[in-house]
C-alpha cells in the first residue's frame, strides 16, 4: 500500500468520521428495521437465501482478526461520545483496508473485525499461497493505516489517547452454516483457524501481526515484498514486512 492509497483511505475515513460527528449534534429520527432478512450475508459464495437452516458446508479460508487493545479501559476514560467517534475512525479505516485487498468483512464485533479471504468461489488466480499472502498483507496494512490515518484523525480532533490493536492471521477449514429463525437469521462461520486467529489477535504485541505456522510455511517466496517471521508454533509468528 503506497502513500497515495493511504491518502485515499484517510479521506474516506475522515469523511465518515465527520458524518459521525454531525450525528452527535443532529437529532436522528427513529427508523424501523425490517427483521425478515439476514443480519449478515457476506461470506463469499454463500447466499443466505439459498442455504437451509442447519446447513453444513466446509470450505477453506484465510482468516484475519483485528481488535483494539484495552478498549474497555479506553472507553471508560474517554466517555461515550469520544468512544463513538473513535470507533467510526477505526472501523471505517480497517474496512477500507479490507476492501483494498478484496477481502470480506464477515463480523464487526464492537472493537474489531473478522475478515475472510479465499474460499472455493474465490477468483481463479487466488490460489492458497496467494490467499494467505493477501490476508497477511491486509493485516500489515491495517497497522500502517492505524498509525497514519486513524490516530492522526483522532489527535487532530483533540482525542489524544491513541488506538493500539493486534492482528491475527490463519488459514484452514471453515464450516459455514445458516442459524436463526425464519424472521431473523445469520450465516456464520466456525472453525479452529477462526479461534486461532482470534487468539493470535489478542496475543499479538501492540500494533503487530501474528500468523499461524501454516501461514508462515505457505507464504509465497519473492512476491509482494520481503517479509520475516519470528516466534513459535504455539504463540504464532510475528510478521514483519521489510
- Sequential pLDDT tens for the chain (242 residues): 889 999 999 998 988 888 888 776 554 443 333 333 334 556 777 777 788 888 888 899 999 999 998 888 888 888 888 888 899 999 999 999 999 998 988 888 878 899 999 988 777 677 899 999 999 999 999 999 999 999 999 999 999 889 999 999 999 999 988 888 878 888 888 999 999 999 999 887 788 999 999 999 999 876 555 789 998 888 889 998 87
CB-CB neighbours of 131 under 10 Å: 22
Residue 231 contacts residue 210 (beta carbons within 8 Å)? yes
Identify the pLDDT of residue 214: 96
Identify the pLDDT of residue 42: 64
Strands (DSSP E) along the chain, which ranges?
37-38, 57-68, 104-108, 112-118, 165-180, 184-190, 208-211, 227-232, 236-241
Report angle CA 100, 102, 104 to the nearest 5 degrees.
115
Contacting residues for 65 by C-beta, under 8 A, at least 6 apart:
112, 113, 114, 115, 167, 168, 169, 194, 197, 198, 200, 201
Q: What gap in Å lies between CA 229 and CA 237, rounded to an integer? A: 6
* Record: fold of 3-22+37-241: Alpha-Beta Plaits (3.30.70)
Identify the pLDDT of residue 22: 79
Identify the pLDDT of residue 37: 35
Q: Domain boundaries in the chain?
A: 3-22+37-241
Residue 207 contacts residue 143 (beta carbons within 8 Å)? yes
The x, y and z cell numbers of residue 241, run together, are: 514486512
Q: What gap in Å lies between CA 33 and CA 156, rounded to an integer? A: 35
Identify the pLDDT of residue 25: 59
Amino acid at each position: 500500500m503506497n502513500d497515495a492509497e493511504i491518502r485515499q483511505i484517510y479521506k474516506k475515513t475522515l469523511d465518515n468520521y465527520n458524518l459521525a460527528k454531525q450525528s452527535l449534534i443532529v437529532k436522528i429520527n427513529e427508523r424501523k428495521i425490517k427483521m425478515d432478512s439476514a443480519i449478515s450475508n457476506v461470506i463469499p459464495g454463500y447466499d443466505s437465501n439459498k442455504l437451509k437452516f442447519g446447513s453444513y458446508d466446509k470450505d477453506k479460508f484465510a482468516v484475519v482478526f483485528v481488535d483494539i487493545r484495552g478498549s474497555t479501559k479506553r472507553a471508560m476514560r474517554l466517555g461515550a461520545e469520544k468512544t463513538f467517534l473513535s470507533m467510526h475512525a477505526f472501523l471505517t479505516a480497517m474496512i477500507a483496508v479490507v476492501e483494498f485487498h478484496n477481502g470480506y468483512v464477515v463480523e464487526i464485533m464492537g472493537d474489531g473485525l473478522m475478515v475472510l479471504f479465499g474460499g472455493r468461489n474465490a477468483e481463479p488466480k487466488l490460489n492458497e499461497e496467494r490467499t494467505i499472502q493477501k490476508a497477511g498483507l491486509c493485516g500489515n496494512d491495517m497497522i500502517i493505516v492505524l498509525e497514519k490515518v486513524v490516530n492522526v484523525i483522532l489527535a487532530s480532533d483533540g482525542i489524544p489517547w491513541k488506538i493500539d490493536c493486534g492482528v491475527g492471521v490463519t488459514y484452514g477449514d471453515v464450516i459455514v452454516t445458516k442459524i436463526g429463525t425464519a424472521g431473523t437469521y445469520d450465516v456464520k462461520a466456525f472453525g479452529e483457524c477462526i479461534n486461532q486467529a482470534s487468539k493470535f489477535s489478542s496475543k499479538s504485541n501492540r500494533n503487530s501481526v501474528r500468523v499461524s505456522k501454516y501461514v508462515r510455511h505457505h507464504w509465497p517466496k519473492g512476491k509482494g515484498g520481503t517479509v520475516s517471521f519470528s516466534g513459535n508454533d504455539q504463540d504464532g509468528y510475528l510478521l514483519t514486512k521489510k
